[in-house]
Amino acid sequence: MAKVLVGPVVGKVTDSEAHILVEVDALAKVTCKLVSDTGETSLTYDMAPPGPRTFHFTGLEPEQRYEIVFEGVDDAPAGRFRTFAKHPRRLTLAVVSCNFTVRRGDTDLWADLYHRFVEPEKIDMVLHVGDQIYGDQAFSWCVDKAGGAFPLVQPIEEQCRERYRELYRLAWRHPATRDVLACVPNLMIWDDHEIRDDWGSNPADSDPGTVEHYVGGLARGVYREYQRQLWDTLATDDPASGFEDHIHVFGDVGVLFVDQRGGRSFETDLARPYLGSKQWARIAEALGPGGAFDAVRALVVVTSVPLAYLGMRVTNAGVHVFDDLHDHWAFGSHRMEQVEFVRALRNWKQAPHAAASRDLIVLGGDVHLGAHTEIKHEGNTVFRQLITSPITNKPPSWFQTLAMRGLLELDERLTASYSFEHSDVIGRRNFGIVVVRVPDEAHDPVKIEGSLAGA
């Protein structure tokens, strides 16, 4: 009988729907059952390796606890989740990034997250904000295998995909990670290491005539199998857009995941070199009148690389020492989009046509530091940012942390009227906790509070 390689991983859950991802090692007719106090529902699929598949359930009851049970496979791990209310008044989110399991040292923040928050059902959803795997060695192997000639023959191409799939299997089978993924909804967005360090910053990444671009496309396909499929059941059918941004609305709470890699690799254009014109159009529509977030009162914005980190001068000077800074909002021509994005978020929050109070928070990872940030306009805080990174990867030394604190304070201007200010910077492994409270009364203030849990 087939065995489970990955899963169950609970993906997007609403008041009436749920996505459950699982991967098996052999041909099997697999039944996924959701069992509650009021009954059960099931779906049966013919499954075949390689890669996972998502069971998409509809017609579920709101605010109901469901146990996940599999039939047709051996030793399937258990799972569970709770559906949301139609209009949740409180959502508690965990936020994680930079998951390099083999570098976790003597810490296990996944176990901490599970035992403190997930097991006692204190968390409604986990947001994974980038670097869920580290594909650098897989990328090098695939490029070497190609030897400059591509596309590869199908068996070799499939070996490349398997290199990336094995990284997901390794990361998501770690016991504490598996427990978290199986017992709470998860939504994810990629960053560079889903393909390779600094993906999108090298000219070859955006050139369809290079082996780098070709291998990046293979890695993107595997990303869609494991991460995008958690909310998009058509993820493996090669969506027309090369972008991975996505939008979700849970009653009065909206979540925006921004793709900071596709616009510099698969969907490049000169007008918007950082996020790309097509993604910008979707963001502007969602934030504008009549858009997806027009009736939303609390907005959670995920940018895998923090929206505000180092100032423009420090960023542009620092790329000669830290090449990762090529990926940042403040670098070079990206800066215009940084200011435009800050302005767009401020305009959404302070929109004169809004019928109720609004608030938002920006979540970022990538930089192997934790910090709180205030984004300001003319000296007044307009919204906040929480940076959380890494959950398992190696944190900076005490000296590196001290140096970064100094650089973070050196230049905090965006424009003459916009600025930012970091506080409570930590240089150890961490994850974030965000509590969103939306009151019943439209004009009572929305409250969004972020904190960091460190090793």
Quote the domain boundaries for residue 24. 1-85
Q: How far apart are CA 151 and CA 148, in angstroms?
A: 9
Domain count within the chain: 2
- 226 assigned to some structural domain: yes
> What does the chain come to in residues?
455
Q: How far apart are CA 61 and CA 82, in angstroms?
A: 10
List pLDDT tens digits, range 313-324. Answer: 877 777 666 777
Q: Tell whether 127 and 264 lie within a shared domain.
A: yes
Q: Tell whether 320 and 404 lie within a shared domain.
A: yes
- 157 assigned to some structural domain: no
User: According to the model, what pLDDT value does residue 239 have?
Assistant: 63
Q: Tell whether 26 and 99 lie within a shared domain.
A: no
Burial of 211 (0-12, 13-18, 19+ CB in 10 A): buried
What is the signed CA dihedral for 67, 72, 75, 81, rounded to 10 degrees?
-20
Q: Tell whether 103 and 26 lie within a shared domain.
A: no
Q: Tell whether 73 and 94 lie within a shared domain.
A: no
Residue 411 — very low, low, confident or very high, per pLDDT cuts 50/70/90? confident
List pLDDT tens digits, range 327-370. Answer: 898 888 898 999 999 999 999 999 988 777 999 999 999 999 99
Q: Tell whether 79 and 92 lie within a shared domain.
A: no
List pLDDT tens digits, range 1-41. Answer: 899 999 999 999 999 999 999 999 999 999 999 999 999 99
Q: Tell whether 64 and 99 lie within a shared domain.
A: no
Q: Tell whether 22 and 126 lie within a shared domain.
A: no
- 110 assigned to some structural domain: yes
pTM of the predicted model, to two decimals?
0.96
User: What is the pLDDT of the chain when averaged over all its residues?
Assistant: 93
Q: Tell whether 288 and 315 lie within a shared domain.
A: yes
CATH number at residue 43: 2.60.40.10
Q: Choose one of 50, 85, 120: the last residue of a domain.
A: 85
- 362 assigned to some structural domain: yes
Structure tokens given for 177: 């990670």
List pLDDT tens digits, range 412-442. Answer: 888 989 999 999 999 999 999 999 999 998 8
Q: Give me the amino acid identity at 342.
A: V
Q: Tell whether 120 and 47 lie within a shared domain.
A: no
